[in-house]
Each structure stands twice: as C-alpha cells, then as structure tokens.
Amino acid sequence: MKHLSILIIILFCTCPVMAQDFSYHQWNPGDTAAIFGDKINMRAQPSTDAGTVTQLAAADQVSILEVSDKTATLNGLTLPWYKVQALGTRSTGYVWGGLLSIMPPTLSNGVQLVAGAIKSVPGTGDNPAEYQFELRAVRNGAVVNKISTSIKSGGHAYFSSVEQGARGLKGYSLLLIMNMGYEACGYPWYEWYVLWDGSQLSALPVCESIADAGVFSHTESYMFPQGPDEYSPGHYGPEDQVYFAIEHHEMEELDTGGWNENSWKRVRPMTRSGKQWIRPKKMDEPK
C-alpha cells in the first residue's frame, strides 16, 4: 500500500481542487481482506434482506471475487457490496464494504488487527462531514481491545504499511498510521498514530497539516527514537519518549513590493498519563 508524506504534498501541490467526496478503501478481485465486523452474516445476495450463507467472525479472512454495482448505506456510510469466498471453505456470498477492514490482514503474536469506519455524520455548509474510525485487536474471533477517533474531513482514508518495532519506541511492537484527506493544496491532511504493545492499543492525538502552493504550510508530526527512513531521522533521545513537532512557513506579500517570510519550528516532548498521550502546551509561534 502506498505511503504519502506531508513533505511530498508541500513540495508538489500546485492548485486546490473543489472535491467534497469521501474515498473509502476499495478491495479488488483477487485481494485477501479481513472481516472488520463482529459476527457478521455473509449474504446470498447483495442485500441485508437476503438469506444468510454463513456467519463470519472478526478477523476472518475472505478472498474478493468481485465488486458489486449495488451499494448500501449504513450508519451514514454508502459503500458497495463484495462477493467473497471465506478462506479455507467453499462458502461464497456477499459482504457489505463497511464490514471489511481497510488495512491488509495484520497478525502480531496471535492477535489480528483490523480497522474501519463505524459512523459518518453529514456536513453542513462549510462544516465538513465527520467520520469515526475504529481499530480493533482480535484474538480467536473475539475483539479483545479497540480504540477510536473522529475526523472532520473528506478525501481518501487508508492505513499506511504497519511498522514493526514502532520506530524504536520502548514498550511497543507495532506502529500503525491512518491517513485521511485530499491530496491537494489548500485542504488539511490528517494522520492518526496508533501503537500496539502486545496487549493494548494506544493512540496519539491526530496530526493536522495543510499546504498551499509553497506560500503557506503548517505541518504537525511526531518524532520517535528512530525515523521511518534515512530521509526522516528520529530524535535519537530516550527510547521511551515521543516528541510533537510543528513546522510553519508563510509568505506575506508587502504593500511596498516583495515578500516577507515567516518560518518557525517548535519541538516539545509528549507526556503520558497511563495509556494516554498528552501534547505539550504553548506550541504557538515563538516570540
């Protein structure tokens, strides 16, 4: 699955788009997907009124046979039906798209991790729609832990590749990042960081970033002991510490001609209260 960075958006966006849609992850024939729902019915036809072929548990895997042209709207989400085959069986039938995980099947010491949207609230006027996402840890078909967040936005929603080792953060084995937003200038982009310690999920507050054709950019990010790649190094400090960073750049046109550049960066350590991560205060523009 592709991974997009805020840096790419800042450098290469050239103009805004007037998009107001929501693009949920779509599986294609031949893909293997995991069940996000808990004890869901595989239907004989793409309808909630159709008979049940079999029941599937959370994290059960299915092979995608085809994408139906029929859709259904549940909890504010309008998504297609999929014709699937339960792996290891001959059972075939239909599953609504909102009951499939939007991330590839991910196994960690006997626990499957699945994710999806559970609710959508329509937007009004300039107020964007709100989507609630949930990440679940499943063992032997039962949900043993879960965590959720809400994001007001549109555009694309997907999980980046799962990062083993959680970028060197002590006590955690996996880092998962959900991305959501428009890949265009003038629209905010969101990242939801979720950590797995082998028994519980914990999340950092959602990061919001926005850029506009090199004239303005505001980027929020987290720094871990190790970076995701050679181009984005970690902080190389305490192994149990995460830092919150803000980078701001703004070009202001002067009445007398020319431009005034205002750029600044703030980096502060996060604190923890139990499993909750808390952002530092006073992260506004340096005086």
Q: Helix or strand or coil: residue 109?
A: coil
CA distances from 233 to 153, 224, 237 (A): 29, 9, 11
Taking every pair of Cα atoms in the chain, the longest distance, rounded to a whole number of angstroms, is: 75
User: In the prediction, which pLDDT does 11 show?
Assistant: 31
CATH 2.30.30.40 in the chain is located at 26-101
166 phi/psi in degrees, rounded to 5? 50, 40
- CB neighbours (10 Å) of residue 260? 9
Q: What is the pLDDT of residues 198-233, one digit of tens each?
A: 999 999 999 999 988 778 899 999 999 999 988 888
Q: What is the pLDDT of residues 132-141, one digit of tens each?
A: 999 999 999 9
Place of tokens 């960066």: 265
User: In the prediction, which pLDDT does 215 show?
Assistant: 85
Is residue 128 over pLDDT 60? yes
Confidence of residue 255 (pLDDT cuts 50, 70, 90): confident
- CATH of 26-101 among 3.40.50.150, 3.40.50.720, 2.70.70.10, 2.30.30.40: 2.30.30.40
Beta pairing partners, 272:
277
pTM of the model as a whole: 0.86
